[in-house]
Amino acid sequence: MSTTRKKIMLAGLVCAVIAGGITSRYVGFESGNVVYPKPSRLTLTLQKTASRMNTTLPRMVDAGTRLDNTLVLGETFVYNYTLIHYNSTELSANDISTFLTTALLNNYCTTDTSFVKMGVSADYNYYGNDAKFIGKVAVAPNQCLHHDPVAGN
């Protein structure tokens, strides 16, 4: 192998090592394989909160609704509920939105104020008693700016 070719290969190796070092600051590794971007501190905090909550779940939150688990997607906190008296064919996504958005937004803006202050959105996913997805209500901090908790708008 010529000296020039060795120098080119060595330079390429050095560039790869440097690029790998830079990339490792932004990407998570598992067993040497790139698997996902490193989560932010906020995401890690939310994941710990979800994990703690999940130790007490599932539990009934009212006579017809069971909170099954929570999880975190980026900087969104996700609640997964089952409506125990309905299967997925008895309700639609529009029903979920129509009947639950105002109450969930009111609760989020007045009770989950730490989420609002941290800029964390929340997704409330609803499933039927047949374990099939029905619909979701998504709320975000910017919805609380003009939200009147008494009137619901």
pLDDT digits (tens, 9 = 90+) for 18-60: 444 444 444 444 555 666 678 889 999 999 999 999 999 999 9
User: What is the CA angle 124-128-133, rounded to 5?
Assistant: 55
* CATH of span 41-143: 3.30.300.250
Q: Does the global pTM surpass 0.75?
A: no
**Amino acid 145: pLDDT:** 75
Q: Could you read off the pLDDT of 50-100 as tens digits, one per residue?
A: 999 999 999 999 999 999 999 999 999 999 999 999 999 999 999 999 999
Structural domain boundaries in the chain: 3-37, 41-143
Computed over its alpha carbons, how large is the radius of gyration of the chain?
Answer: 23
**Amino acid 38: pLDDT:** 82
Q: Are 110 and 103 in contact (CB under 8 A)?
A: no
